[in-house]
Amino acid sequence: MSRYITYCLVALSGVLLLLLPLLVNPGLVHLAGVTLVMGVFAVAWNLLFGYAGLASFGSGGLFSLGAYVMAISLRAGYEQSFLLLIVLAMVTGGIVAFLVGAVALRRSSGIYLAILTLAMAEVLRQILMRWHWIGAEDGLPNIVRPHFSYGLGLIDLSSGARYHVFLCLACGLLIAAIWWIAHGRFGRTLRAIRLDPERAAFMGVNTYGYKLAAFTLSGVFVAGAGALYAPLAQIVTPDLGNMLRSTQPILFTLLGGASSFWGPLIGGFLFSAIEYGTRTLVGLQEIITGVILLAVVLIFPTGISGAFRKLFASLEQGEPAPARKVEVSDAGRLGKPLTQRV
């Protein structure tokens, strides 16, 4: 039953987003667009985390890679092939992610993988910052929103509202593609690997291969989100790939719940709403965000969607569903966990 409710809610929010330019002012439409792109980014990141159990802290690098590919091509005048440029950005992201993953996944996991990916994204950012051909620290401003024709006639995305509609459709397509990957046999196998990589290996699953494939696919979609972001913001800077950017999908995902496919999107919009609501409060914004995150980690480790699922389950069965995934317990004795986690 809750599955149909989910689908209805997704469809409803999709329609609402699409019609947003008719309902609210352009500023809010822009914010919704940014949130949507970041939401796709987070969903793509969660393909790696929630399904394959790998936490990359350098996905901001792939995002900025996609944005730069798009920005450079648009400024070079390839407006006409806009749709192809998105594909080009995604392919580039996939290739880079594949190369990074092929090396990094063989040698590291957990914290080491997190730091390794963080450092790789930082290398990219440092290079972008010093490279004068692409604007160095100032980045590339004045990116045009394209208008192009594909047989049927001219498609003009130059106004904010039109680009928003295009963005909604494109993001919808990307999300649908990720949904397919996550829910098919590939996604099922990934989940098995996250839950117990050794057990999966003894079923004959090449866990390294699957992880690498997930890493690559995640890179494809993250770069795709970046490519859609460039014409939306109309400026790209090296800071697109900084540490904060890389941690954003993580925040969205954990806020919304990693064990749910829609969690990162829910988290993204919630996060944006909080940021928007507190935008005039300097300093308080971070504090409120931080407190909410802490509350999520300490009280609802399954995120908002997990909390809702628990609620649903308790409504249906009259008792709370068993807690999943993490147990956040109050370690009475400090020494004890150390012996367990060596």
Partner 1 sequence: MPVASANPLRSGSDAMSIIKLTNLEKSYGALKVLRGIDAEIGEGETFAIIGPNGAGKTTLFKVMTGEVPSNGGRVEFDGKDVTHDPAYRRARAGMGRTFQVARVFLELTVIENVIIAIEARRKNTGDSDDAWYAVVSSRSVVDEARQLLANLDLELKRNTEASILSHGDKKRLELAITLAGRPRILMLDEPTAGMSPSDRIGVVDLIRRLRDESRLTIVMTEHDMSVIFGLADRIMVMNQGARLAIGSIDEIRSSQVVRDVYLGKESQHD
Partner 2 sequence: MLFILINSLTMAMAVFLVAAGLTLIYGIMRILNFAHGAFFMIGAYLTSTMVGQAAGSVLMLVAAALAAAVLVGILGLAVQRLVLRRVMNADEHYMLIATFAVMLICVGSVKLIWGLDFFSVDPPPALSGGVLLGTVFVPSFSLFVIASGVLVFILLDLLLQRSWSGKMLTAVARDGWMAELMGLNTSAWIMLAIGGSFALAGLAGGLLLPNQTLTPVLGDSFLLLAFVTIVMGGLGSVRGAFIAALVLGLIDGLNMIVMPQFPGVAIYVGMIAFLLLNPNGFLGEGRL
Q: Contact positions toward partner 2, by CB under 8 A?
A: 49, 55, 103-104, 107-108, 110-112, 114-116, 118-120, 122-123, 126-127, 130, 242-244, 247, 250-251, 254, 282-291, 293-294, 297-298, 301, 325-331, 333-342
By CB under 8 A, residue 10 contacts partner 1: no
Coil vs helix vs strand at 140: strand
At its nearest, how many Å lie between partner 1 and the CB of residue 152? 28
Give backbone dihedrals phi and psi of 250, rounded to 5 degrees, phi first.
-65, -45
Q: Do 56 and 232 meet the contact criterion of CB atoms below 8 Å apart?
A: no
Nearest-angstrom CA–CA distance, 244 and 248: 6
Site for partner 1 contains 279 (CB under 8 A):
no
CA distance readout (Å), 4 to 7, 74, 177, 202, 207: 5, 41, 19, 36, 33
Task: Name the minimum Å distance from CB 202 to partner 1.
Answer: 5
What's the CA gap between 127 and 125, in Å, rounded? 5
Nearest distance from residue 253's CB to partner 1, in Å? 17
**64 vs 259, which CB is nearer to partner 1?**
259
The distance of Cα 248 from the centroid of its chain, to the nearest Å, equals 8
Partners of residue 147 on adjacent β-strands = 156
106 binds partner 1 (CB under 8 A): no
Looking at 33-41, 65-73, 191-199, 275-283, which segment touches partner 1 (CB under 8 A)? 191-199
DSSP code of residue 51 = I
- H helices within the chain, ranges in order? 2-18, 20-23, 26-46, 59-75, 82-107, 110-130, 160-183, 185-195, 197-201, 207-233, 243-256, 263-277, 284-299, 303-317, 335-340
**Options 101-109, 133-141, 175-183, 231-239: segment touching partner 1 (CB under 8 A):** 175-183
The reply on whether position 188 binds partner 1 by CB under 8 A is: yes
**Closer residue to partner 2, CB minimum distance, 116 or 168:** 116
From the list partner 2, partner 1, none, which binds 112 (C-beta under 5 to 8 Å, kind-based)? partner 2
Q: Binders of partner 1 among 194-213, rule CB under 8 A?
A: 195-196, 198-207
Indicate which of partner 1, partner 2, none lies near residue 126 (CB less than 5 to 8 Å, by partner kind).
partner 2
Q: How far, in Å, CA of 112 to CA of 332, rounded?
A: 28
130, 279, 324, 336: residue in contact with partner 1 (rule CB under 8 A): 324
Which pair of tokens denotes residue 196? 């117990």
Would you mind telling me the total number of residues written for the chain in this entry? 342
| Phi-psi map region of 330: left, alpha, beta (phi>0 left; psi -120 to 50 alpha) | beta
Residue 284 binds partner 1, judged by CB under 8 A: no
295 interacts with partner 1 by CB under 8 A: no
Distance, CA of 113 to CA of 122 (rounded, Å)? 14
* CA pair distance 133, 124, nearest whole angstrom: 15
CB of 9 to partner 1, least distance (A): 19
Q: 148 or 208, CB closer to partner 1?
A: 208
Shortest Cβ distance from residue 260 to partner 1 (Å)?
Answer: 12
Interface with partner 1 includes 216 (CB under 8 A)? no
Name the residue nearer to partner 2 (CB basis): 87 or 294.
294
Q: Which partner in partner 1, partner 2, none is near 153 (CB below 5 to 8 A by kind)?
A: none
Q: Work out whether 183 is an interface residue with partner 1 (CB under 8 A).
A: yes
Q: Where along the sequence are the contacts to partner 1 (CB under 8 A)?
A: 180-181, 183-186, 188-189, 191-192, 195-196, 198-207, 259, 322, 324-325
